[in-house]
Structure 1
Amino acid sequence: MARIYISLGSNIEPKKHLQAGLQSLRACFGPLNLSSMYESEAVGFSGTNFLNMVASAETDLNIAAVVAQFKQIEQNHGRLIGAKKFSPRTLDLDLLLYDDIVCQTPVVLPRDEIVNNAFVLWPLAELVPALKHPLAGKSYASLWQEYDKNSQRLWPVAFEWPQGLTF
């Protein structure tokens, strides 16, 4: 079984779409470990704020199959095929890590956004502070500590999951 780490984000009805996305991920991958929820300003375009978090799960699927599953979940929850990279999203799921594999195809792993975007690094550092980035060789807690926190606005938000919703 491989341990995967998933970035989730939304700025279109974000609570609704993140809850639905997490339920779909749970149905596909089983129990999830979740970071806190964070709110951030849109990066790369002018738009409403995003809600972001990181989840982890275990899977027997290979990397390509995991990514295909994420794309299907996004589409099932209103993500438009071929939408611009920097645009509003109902649901954005990105594979950040697949164990400690480093690769360029079928996707780049570890994902560059880990060290470049606060909305990925902070929740990842919260979820697995001692885990080391496979290329940087530093823990995610250390990477977050070194991160220029003035470069992107990000803050934790209280988020209450509906009763009976478990991950």
Structure 2
Amino acid sequence: MARIFISIGSNIEAEHYFNAALKALSKDFSNLCLSSVFESEAVGFDGSNFLNMVVAADTQLDIAQVVAVFKRIEQDNGREIGAKKFSPRTLDLDLLLFDDCVVTAPVELPRAEITTNAFVLWPLAEIAPNLVHPVEQQTYQTLWDNYDKSQQKLWPIEFYWSY
């Protein structure tokens, strides 16, 4: 059984798609642990604000199978295949961590956005503060404490779940 961490983001009907994502994730994975939901400005393009969060879960699937599940969930929820990276989206699911694996294929793990994007690092530090980044060899809480918070505007919001 592997412990995975998933970044969820949306800036199109975000509340609807967050609930849909969590409903789908709860069918394929177990022991979900949810961070707070954070709102942030779009990064890399001019667009409406995003909602973001991190979810931890357990799985018996391998990395490639997990990524395939994420792609299926995204597509089931209106994600356009081949949409450009910096654009509005209904749902974005990214595998951040798979236990303490460090790999480059089928995806890069740990995901680089962990240390570069506040909307990933803050919620990850919230639910796994004492977990150690397998490359940086620092806890996520330490990485968040040392993060330059002037880089990105981010704030927690109240969110009501219906999944």
Provide the rounded CA distance (Å) in 2 between the counterparts of 1:134 and 1:100. Answer: 6
Provide the rounded CA distance (Å) in 1 between the counterparts of 2:138 and 2:89. Answer: 31
SS of the counterpart of 2:143?
helix
Letter in 2 for 1:44: G
Provide the rounded CA distance (Å) in 2 between the counterparts of 1:91 and 1:24. Answer: 12
| Mapped pair 1:130 → 2:130 | yes
Query: Match of 1:109?
Result: 109
Q: How does 1:60-99 map to 2 (within 5 A)?
A: 60-99=60-99
Q: How does 1:10-25 map to 2 (within 5 A)?
A: 10-25=10-25
Name structure 2 gaps, 5 residues minimum: none
Structure 1 residue 161: deviation in Å? 1.3
Provide the rounded CA distance (Å) in 1 between the counterparts of 2:87 and 2:8. Answer: 15
For residues 88-128 of structure 1, give each alpha carbon's deviation from its aligned partner in whole angstroms, at most 9, with x where no partner exists. Answer: 01000000000000000000000000000000000000000
Provide the rounded CA distance (Å) in 2 between the counterparts of 1:60 and 1:138. Answer: 27
- TM-score with structure 1 setting the length: 0.96
For residues 29-54 of structure 1, give each alpha carbon's deviation from its aligned partner in whole angstroms, at most 9, with x where no partner exists. Answer: 13310000000000000000000000
SS of the counterpart of 1:32?
strand
Provide the rounded CA distance (Å) in 2 between the counterparts of 1:57 and 1:113. Answer: 19
Tell me the number of residue pairs that the alignment of Structure 1 and Structure 2 aligns: 163
Query: Match of 1:29?
Result: 29
Runs of 4+ in 1 over 2 A off after TM superposition: none
Give the superposed CA RMSD.
0.6
Letter in 2 for 1:12: I
Query: Match of 2:9?
Result: 9
Letter in 2 for 1:2: A
Query: Match of 1:140?
Result: 140
Structure 1 residue 160: deviation in Å? 1.5
Name structure 1 gaps, 5 residues minimum: none
